[in-house]
């Protein structure tokens, strides 16, 4: 089903005339959903949205259409699939309308339910996640294969096992070849710090946040939650350490909603609590000007801006510079909300890839290194650097990788 | 005394014999050679003339002639074949594991009470027994099957035998017969052929092909592959899943239901090497395969291989090739 | 119009395939099943026809418990009815046996169209669709990529795929059995919540086996295919591999 045929299909599908009411009554019942009616139509959301200029129905207009009982108009728009879940709209809204997670996600859920206009790449990502517990379609049994070449012992916790820290590795960190080196780096850091940790191994499945909560596949998110919550319940641990900010958001914000409350930290927060240990262990200098890109799920969604910077500052030789759009103003890499799978779809409609804008902004600061804390950003920014002709001038590095190098832990890898 | 007759059911179109027919004849010849079996090549057609002078490697060539056997009508073939095969006392029947042969295996085997073995890449006889080797599950499994008695019907995988061995230097004795059954009323009627629109590149004529498989992962990555193809003066082709997604037109599809190509260079990117695809490109002069799975069947037929990530390799390779221009 | 779709489960090759101790089958405990891809296309084509002709679609799931999941997904996608045909593990590849199991009830049901994939990934036997056509004395065409049914519902016009992208247009008298290669559109998405709901409310008719059973061939030996690896593997990092490839191309005057 090509995106171009969406409007045609909907016209003949016969969307029920009370569809708007059906939609609203469903959304209003969800936590925060009732805020949808408090919208003051200020347009802050559409204004701040990085895709706003390409949306014929920006968030403001979507709500306006709902109020007029015209959900059909919104369905016909491509705008629903352009959202990259950067959270700017929700963050800025003066009355706290949960735009990303209730409005956009809710609309997507409606379309998914009808089987209409779901971009094929997204469909494949959902189907693979549902079947194999990861969007790549790799065997679940191979999820912890990366540990073989880690160079340090990575304990896999079985039922009944205990550890202080449960390290939630995540799909990208486990399977994606471009991210595995950063996963190994973090493993070596934890080992060097003497942390009592373990992973779920092949019992871990996608946390679901990336593709599901902001995607409208609540059913899939729930199914993944059921599995993951059960597996977590079988082990004993005091806190959960997460490498991927999307999983961080899911475990921290969404899991309690469904019944599982955990003490969750992103690895930069964990390391920020141990800066003196890190500083003591530094062996190598990394002489570079570094600029840090605030990940949407860590920053705007969860308010963590300083921990990653504190960790970077432990590395000798680093000079930290800021991009104009930093912290809560950071420009999204464009991979959230399933957009990682919708690049061609989005490109056809917007013609300005966000990652390219961002790496150019980074290069303008004079930085040689673009430091990141979210695994999605590695392939996105690396590709953007090549396409922008910045190869050789700017390098993308995950914070864990830089810290591990400075601690002298990356020998032989 | 059990029959020792091998019948190759020929595939042909527009007066030309298909490669699979020659490969099946090569297979039949191999078996016949070891144990003195007899090989018949059987054509169902409305016009034997263009085919009568073929120097096939059979001991005889039989034509069943009827106007209803002109267009490829599976119902007509299925009705005629069992009678003719019985008449020829066939012990081993070879059909192509193709869109034609697959249709016939069920009906023909039922009428003859024959055992069927699909996906054959190897057949040999051991006394009265016939031993078959087949590939299953995308080429990941190999099955060995024995048929000790009765008629065996084997579906032969294209590309498993050398087609040159299906020809020889003399024309075997030929015979033309009429259809043993009436073909006036059939439940299936052939209406017409629809040819693919060739407004696009004809991949069969391009000397350098870069194949995009599932490993390319997204339509966006295709742009990099196109850039590489451009540097090499070639074209991008694809496996079925890529075409099914709409990322490239069907005229770029290589394999059993797509094009068969023999370029000077076939660079397979993220292609697993399933038999249906390999059929269409195995004769390429130089095959280089890029796949992160070291167990991918593509490495069985590639000349060179690498397990580096194609997404990393493609841009680097494009740059290096650009660089060679200066020399 | 009544349409039946046969959905078979085949071993999922994403997972490691393990040979059983008898060396002639897969180890039952290690097999992960997935619906045969061509059968998914058959279901999609049936649903397309359902929308066009207000037909009734019966999904027939063959295999073990996992076949019930496939039936729930089929209902969630829009099939009207689900029939479960349990087949013991050791017989799952035997299309002759399956055709004889299915034939009596399918004949009695009087379907206008029976659709299933033209091929299954694990198929050693003849194609199920063709065998079923014979058992039911119905015309059969395989390799189908589109189906059109005339107004009275007595004739179908199908497109059959040949190599090179060529299509043959054939007219088939109904009722008929069709072996689907691919549907007119890619198999549709159905959200997990819908499938979960279908599972909860699933009403299955279970087929009991008739006593007369025939057998197709069984392998005497099953092996994992060795990567015979004719390929000479290029080693090193991306940069080194790229250099080696350029060298290979230069040697052949390709650059």
Does the distance separating the beta carbons of B99 and C142 come in below 8 Å?
Answer: yes
Does the distance separating the beta carbons of B302 and C161 come in below 8 Å?
Answer: no
CA distance B107 to B92: 16
Q: Which residues of B touch A178 (CB under 8 A)?
A: 309, 312
What count of other Cβ atoms lies within 10 Å of the Cβ of residue C210? 12
List Cα–Cα distances, A172 to A139, A182, A379, B53, B233, in angstroms.
Answer: 14, 10, 10, 62, 35
User: Between A177, A178, A343, which is nearest B218 by CB?
Assistant: A343
Residue of C nearest to A119 (CA): C189
List Cα–Cα distances, C235 to B293, B306, B315, C54, C197, in angstroms.
Answer: 14, 7, 18, 58, 50
Chains in contact with B via at least 3 Cβ–Cβ pairs below 8 Å: A, C
> Where residue C194 sits, what CATH number does that domain have?
3.40.50.620
C-alpha gyration radius of chain B: 22
Nearest CA-CA partner of A214 in A324, A120, A103? A103
Q: Which residues pair with B139 in a beta bridge?
A: none
> Residue A16: pLDDT band by 50, 70, 90 thresholds?
low
Q: How many domains does chain C have?
A: 1
Residue A126 reports pLDDT greater than 90 = no
Give the minimum alpha-carbon distance from B227 to chain A in angstroms, rounded to a whole number: 12
Q: Which residue has the higher pLDDT, A176 or C77?
A: C77
Q: Report the mean per-residue pLDDT for chain A.
A: 88
Chains in contact with A via at least 3 Cβ–Cβ pairs below 8 Å: B, C
Q: Which residues of B touch C167 (CB under 8 A)?
A: 193-194
Identify whether B124 is part of a domain: yes
Does the distance separating the beta carbons of C254 and B208 come in below 8 Å?
Answer: yes
Residue of B nearest to C174 (CA): B187
Note whether A73 and A55 are within 8 A (CB). no
Residue A398 reports pLDDT greater than 70 = yes
CA distance A298 to A305: 7
Does the distance separating the beta carbons of C220 and B117 come in below 8 Å?
Answer: no
Identify whether C29 is part of a domain: yes
Same domain membership, residue B80 and residue B15:
yes
- What's the token pair of residue B65? 């002639």
Q: Which residues pair with B240 in a beta bridge?
A: none
Q: Which residues pair with C157 in a beta bridge?
A: C148, C171
* Interface residues from chain C to A (CB-CB < 8 Å): 14-16, 34, 77, 185-186, 188-196
Identify whether C13 is part of a domain: yes
User: Between B218, B309, B315, which is nearest A121 by CB?
Assistant: B218
Same domain membership, residue B285 and residue B241:
yes
Select the residue from A219, A382, A413 to test the C interface by mutation, using most C Cβ atoms within 10 A: A219
The whole-number pLDDT of residue A11 equals: 43
Same domain membership, residue B164 and residue B309:
no
CA distance A225 to A206: 9
- What's the token pair of residue A371? 């430091």
Does the distance separating the beta carbons of A137 and C192 come in below 8 Å?
Answer: no
- C29 class by beta-carbon count within 10 Å (0-12 exposed, 13-18 middle, 19+ buried): exposed
Mapped onto helix, strand or coil, the DSSP state of residue A234 is coil
| Least-confidence region, from A112-126, A146-160, A320-334, B251-265 | A112-126
Same domain membership, residue B125 and residue B9:
yes
Residue A4 reports pLDDT greater than 50 = no
> Residue A117: pLDDT band by 50, 70, 90 thresholds?
low
Residue A12 reports pLDDT greater than 50 = no
Does the distance separating the beta carbons of C121 and B137 come in below 8 Å?
Answer: yes
Residue by residue, pLDDT tens for chain B (327 residues) are: 578 899 999 999 888 898 899 999 999 999 998 777 999 999 999 999 999 999 999 999 999 999 999 988 999 999 999 999 999 999 999 999 988 999 999 999 999 999 999 999 999 988 888 999 998 887 789 999 999 989 999 999 887 898 899 999 999 999 999 999 999 899 999 999 998 766 678 898 889 999 999 888 888 889 999 999 999 989 999 998 788 777 888 889 898 767 888 899 999 999 988 877 888 898 898 999 999 888 888 998 899 999 999 999 999 999 999 887 654
List Cα–Cα distances, A248 to A217, B209, B251, C3, in angstroms.
Answer: 18, 44, 45, 47
> Where residue B64 sits, what CATH number does that domain have?
3.40.50.620
Residue-range domains of chain A with CATH: 3-118 (1.10.1060), 121-271 (3.40.50.1860), 273-406 (3.40.50)
Does the distance separating the beta carbons of A223 and C192 come in below 8 Å?
Answer: yes
Residue of C nearest to A222 (CA): C193
Residue by residue, pLDDT tens for chain C (255 residues) are: 999 999 999 999 888 889 999 999 999 988 999 999 999 999 999 999 999 999 999 999 999 999 999 999 999 999 999 999 999 888 888 899 999 899 999 999 999 999 999 999 888 999 999 999 999 999 999 999 999 999 888 999 999 988 767 899 999 999 999 999 989 988 888 988 899 999 999 999 998 777 667 788 888 899 887 765 578 999 999 999 999 999 999 888 888
| 3-class SS string, B224-285 | HHHHHHHHCCCEEEECHHHHHCCCCCHHHEECCCCECCCCCEEEEECCCCCHHHHCCCCCCC
Nearest CA-CA partner of C61 in C198, C252, C153, C239? C198
Chains in contact with C via at least 3 Cβ–Cβ pairs below 8 Å: A, B
Identify whether C56 is part of a domain: yes
Same domain membership, residue B94 and residue B211:
no
Q: Which residues pair with B189 in a beta bridge?
A: C171
Note whether B281 and B258 are within 8 A (CB). no
User: By residue range, what is the domain housing residue C18?
Assistant: 2-206
Select the residue from A120, A175, A339, A389 to test the B interface by mutation, using most B Cβ atoms within 10 A: A120
Note whether C149 and C53 are within 8 A (CB). yes
Chain B from 258 to 287: CB within 8 A of any A CB: none
Residue of C nearest to A112 (CA): C191
Residue of A nearest to B245 (CA): A120
CA distance C255 to C75: 55
Residue of B nearest to C133 (CA): B107
The whole-number pLDDT of residue A1 equals: 39
User: Between C127, C167, C243, which is nearest B194 by CB?
Assistant: C167
Q: Which residues of C touch B301 (CB under 8 A)?
A: 230-231
Same domain membership, residue B265 and residue B157:
no
Q: Which residues pair with B9 in a beta bridge?
A: B42
Residue of A nearest to B219 (CA): A344
- What's the token pair of residue A263? 């003490």
Q: What is the ipTM score, two decimals?
A: 0.88
| 3-class SS string, chain C | CEEEEEEEEEECCCCCCCECCCCCCECHHHCCEEECHHHHHHHHHHHHHHHHHCCEEEEEEEECCHHHHHHHHHHHHCCCEEEEEECCHHHCCCHHHHHHHHHHHHHHHCCCEEEEECCCCCCCCCCHHHHHHHHCCCCEEEEEEEEEECCCCCEEEEEEECHHHCEEEEEEECCEEEEECCCCCCCCCCCHHHHHHHHHCCCEEECCCCCCCCCCCCCCEEEECCCCCCCEECCCCHHHHHHHHHHHHHHCCCC
Identify whether C60 is part of a domain: yes
pLDDT in tens, B129-165: 899 999 888 778 999 999 998 999 999 988 789 889 9
- What's the token pair of residue C40? 């998914």
DSSP category for residue A236 = B
Identify whether B29 is part of a domain: yes
Note whether C155 and C122 are within 8 A (CB). no
CA distance A162 to A144: 18
Mapped onto helix, strand or coil, the DSSP state of residue B122 is strand
User: Between C16, C185, C191, which is nearest A113 by CB?
Assistant: C191
> Where residue B265 sits, what CATH number does that domain have?
3.40.50.1220
**Is B129 in the A-facing interface, judged by CB distances under 8 Å?**
no
Residue of A nearest to C77 (CA): A115
Does the distance separating the beta carbons of B218 and A120 come in below 8 Å?
Answer: no
* Interface residues from chain A to B (CB-CB < 8 Å): 2, 120-121, 177-178, 341, 343-344, 347, 379, 386
Ordered DSSP codes for B149-179: SS-EEEEEPTTSS-GGGGB-SSPPPEEEEE-
Q: Which long-range contacts (CB under 8 A, 24 or more apart) does B283-292 make?
A: B283/B159, B284/B209, B285/C252, B286/C248, B286/C252, B286/C254, B288/C245, B288/C248, B289/C231, B290/B215, B291/B213, B291/B215, B292/A177, B292/B215
Does the distance separating the beta carbons of A1 and C194 come in below 8 Å?
Answer: no
Same domain membership, residue B114 and residue B78:
yes
Nearest CA-CA partner of A227 in A337, A162, A102, A143? A143
Does the distance separating the beta carbons of C239 and B134 come in below 8 Å?
Answer: no
Select the residue from A5, A118, A122, A124 to test the B interface by mutation, using most B Cβ atoms within 10 A: A124
Residue A50 reports pLDDT greater than 70 = yes
pLDDT in tens, A35-49: 888 999 999 999 999
CA distance B126 to B131: 7
Does the distance separating the beta carbons of B218 and A344 come in below 8 Å?
Answer: yes
Does the distance separating the beta carbons of A120 and B246 come in below 8 Å?
Answer: yes
Give the minimum alpha-carbon distance from B195 to chain C in angstroms, rounded to a whole number: 5
pTM of the model: 0.85
Q: How many domains does chain B have?
A: 2
Q: Report the mean per-residue pLDDT for chain B.
A: 90
Note whether C41 and C182 are within 8 A (CB). yes
Looking at residues A57-83, what average pLDDT do you find?
Answer: 89
User: By residue range, what is the domain housing residue B212?
Assistant: 203-324
Residue A2 reports pLDDT greater than 50 = no
Rounded to the nearest 5°, which phi and psi values hold at A92? -85, -20
Q: Where are the alpha helices (DSSP H) in A255-409?
A: 255-258, 267-272, 275-281, 306-312, 343-350, 354-364, 377-387, 399-406
CA distance A315 to C62: 61
> Residue A8: pLDDT band by 50, 70, 90 thresholds?
very low
List Cα–Cα distances, A137 to A56, A134, A250, C34, C65, in angstroms.
Answer: 34, 6, 21, 13, 22
User: Between B193, B258, B265, which is nearest C168 by CB?
Assistant: B193
Identify whether C46 is part of a domain: yes
Q: Which residues of C touch A141 (CB under 8 A)?
A: 15-16
Give the minimum alpha-carbon distance from C177 to chain A in angstroms, rounded to a whole number: 27
- B293 class by beta-carbon count within 10 Å (0-12 exposed, 13-18 middle, 19+ buried): middle
Does the distance separating the beta carbons of C191 and A220 come in below 8 Å?
Answer: yes
Q: Which residues of C touch B72 (CB under 8 A)?
A: 162, 168
The whole-number pLDDT of residue A9 equals: 42
Chain C from 14 to 33: CB within 8 A of any B CB: 17
Q: Report the mean per-residue pLDDT for chain C.
A: 91
Establish how many alpha carbons lie within 13 A of residue A153's alpha carbon, considering only the half-sphere containing its beta carbon. Answer: 7
Does the distance separating the beta carbons of A386 and B311 come in below 8 Å?
Answer: no
Note whether B18 and B12 are within 8 A (CB). yes
> Residue A211: pLDDT band by 50, 70, 90 thresholds?
low
Does the distance separating the beta carbons of B258 and C163 come in below 8 Å?
Answer: yes
Residue of A nearest to B307 (CA): A177
Give the minimum alpha-carbon distance from A325 to chain C in angstroms, rounded to a whole number: 34
CA distance A86 to A298: 11
Residue A146 reports pLDDT greater than 80 = yes
């Amino acid at each position: 089903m090509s995106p171009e045929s969406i409007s045609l299909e909907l016209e003949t599908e016969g969307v029920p005339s009370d569809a708007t009411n059906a939609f609203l009554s469903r959304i209003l019942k969800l936590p925060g959903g009732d805020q949808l009616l408090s919208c003051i139509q200020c347009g802050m959301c559409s204004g701040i949205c990085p895709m706003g200029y390409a949306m014929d129905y920006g968030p403001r207009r979507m709500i306006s259409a709902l109020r007029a009982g015209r959900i059909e108009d919104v369905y016909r728009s491509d705008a629903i699939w352009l959202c990259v879940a950067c959270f700017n709209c929700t963050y800025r809204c003066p009355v706290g309308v949960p735009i990303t997670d209730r409005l956009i996600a809710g609309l997507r859920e409606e379309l998914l339910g009808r089987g209409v206009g779901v971009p094929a790449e997204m469909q494949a990502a959902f189907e693979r996640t549902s079947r194999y517990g990861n969007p790549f379609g790799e065997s679940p049994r191979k999820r912890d294969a990366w540990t073989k070449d880690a160079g340090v012992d990575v304990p896999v916790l079985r039922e009944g096992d205990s550890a202080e820290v449960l390290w939630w590795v995540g799909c990208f960190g486990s399977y994606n070849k471009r991210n595995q080196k950063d996963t190994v780096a973090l493993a070596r850091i934890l080992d060097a710090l003497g942390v009592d940790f373990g992973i779920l191994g092949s019992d871990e499945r996608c946390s679901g946040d990336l593709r599901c909560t902001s995607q409208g596949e609540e059913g899939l998110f729930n199914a993944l939650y059921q599995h993951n919550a059960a597996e977590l319940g079988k082990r004993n641990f005091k806190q959960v350490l997460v490498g991927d900010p999307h999983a961080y958001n899911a475990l921290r914000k969404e899991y309690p909603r469904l019944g599982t409350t955990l003490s969750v930290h992103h690895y930069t927060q964990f390391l920020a609590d141990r800066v003196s240990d890190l500083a003591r262990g530094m062996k190598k200098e990394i002489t570079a000007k570094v600029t840090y890109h605030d990940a949407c799920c860590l920053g705007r969604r969860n308010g963590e801006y300083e921990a990653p910077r504190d960790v970077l500052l432990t590395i000798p030789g680093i000079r930290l510079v800021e991009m104009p759009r930093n912290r809560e103003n950071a420009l999204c890499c464009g991979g959230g909300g399933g957009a990682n799978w919708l690049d061609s779809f989005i490109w056809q409609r917007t013609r300005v890839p966000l990652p390219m804008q961002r790496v150019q902004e980074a290069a303008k600061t004079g930085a040689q290194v673009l430091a990141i804390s979210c695994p999605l950003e590695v392939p996105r920014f690396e590709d953007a650097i090549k396409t922008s002709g910045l190869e050789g001038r700017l390098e993308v590095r995950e914070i864990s990788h830089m810290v591990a190098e400075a601690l002298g832990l990356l020998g032989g890898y | 005394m059990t029959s020792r007759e091998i019948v190759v059911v020929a595939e042909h179109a527009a007066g030309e014999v298909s490669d699979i027919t020659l490969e099946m004849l090569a297979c039949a010849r191999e078996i016949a050679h070891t144990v003195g079996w007899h090989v018949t090549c059987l054509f169902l057609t409305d016009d034997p003339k263009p085919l009568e002078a073929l120097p096939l490697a059979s001991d005889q060539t039989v034509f069943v002639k009827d106007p209803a056997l002109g267009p490829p009508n599976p119902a007509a073939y299925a009705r005629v074949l069992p009678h003719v095969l019985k008449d020829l006392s066939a012990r081993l029947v070879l059909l192509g594991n193709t869109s034609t042969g697959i249709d016939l295996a069920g009906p023909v085997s039922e009428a003859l009470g024959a055992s069927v073995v699909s996906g054959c890449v190897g057949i040999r006889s051991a006394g009265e027994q016939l031993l078959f080797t087949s590939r299953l599950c995308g080429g990941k499994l190999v099955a060995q099957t024995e048929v000790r008695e009765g008629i065996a019907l084997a579906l032969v995988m294209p590309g498993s035998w050398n087609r040159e061995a299906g020809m020889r230097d003399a024309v075997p004795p030929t015979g033309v017969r009429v259809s043993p059954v009436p073909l006036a009323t059939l439940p299936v009627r052939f209406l017409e052929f629809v040819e693919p629109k060739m407004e696009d590149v004809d991949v069969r004529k391009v000397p350098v092909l870069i194949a995009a498989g599932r490993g390319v992962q997204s339509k966006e990555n295709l742009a990099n592959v196109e850039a590489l193809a451009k540097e090499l003066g070639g074209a991008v082709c694809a496996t079925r899943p890529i075409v099914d997604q709409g990322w490239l037109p069907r005229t770029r599809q290589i394999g059993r239901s797509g094009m068969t190509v023999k370029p000077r260079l076939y660079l397979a990117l993220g292609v697993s090497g399933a038999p249906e695809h390999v059929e269409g490109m195995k004769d390429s002069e130089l095959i280089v395969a890029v796949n992160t799975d070291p167990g991918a069947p593509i490495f069985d037929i590639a000349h060179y291989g690498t397990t580096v990530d194609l997404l990393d390799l493609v841009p680097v390779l494009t740059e290096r090739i650009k660089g060679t221009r200066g020399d | 119009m009544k349409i039946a779709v046969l959905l078979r489960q085949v071993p999922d090759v994403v997972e490691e395939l393990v040979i059983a101790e008898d060396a002639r089958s897969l180890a039952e405990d290690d097999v992960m099943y997935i619906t045969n891809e061509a059968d998914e296309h058959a279901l999609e084509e049936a649903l397309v026809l359902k929308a066009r002709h207000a037909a009734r679609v019966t999904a027939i799931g063959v295999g073990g418990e996992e076949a019930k999941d496939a039936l729930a997904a089929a209902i969630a996608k829009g099939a009207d009815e689900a029939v479960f045909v349990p087949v013991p593990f050791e017989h799952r590849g035997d299309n002759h046996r399956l055709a004889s199991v299915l034939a009596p009830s399918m004949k009695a049901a009087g379907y206008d169209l029976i659709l299933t994939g033209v091929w299954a990934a694990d198929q050693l036997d003849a194609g199920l669709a063709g065998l079923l056509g014979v058992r039911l004395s119905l015309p059969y065409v395989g390799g189908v990529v589109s189906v059109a049914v005339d107004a009275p519902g007595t004739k179908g016009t199908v497109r059959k795929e040949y190599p090179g992208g060529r299509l043959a247009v054939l007219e088939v008298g109904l009722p008929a059995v069709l072996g689907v290669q691919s549907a007119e559109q890619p198999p549709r998405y159905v959200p997990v919540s819908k499938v979960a709901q279908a599972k909860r409310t699933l009403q299955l008719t279970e087929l009991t086996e008739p006593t007369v059973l025939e057998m197709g061939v069984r392998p005497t030996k099953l092996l994992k295919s060795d990567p015979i690896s004719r390929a000479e593997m290029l080693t090193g990092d991306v940069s080194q591999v790229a250099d080696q490839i350029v060298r290979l191309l230069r040697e052949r005057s390709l650059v």
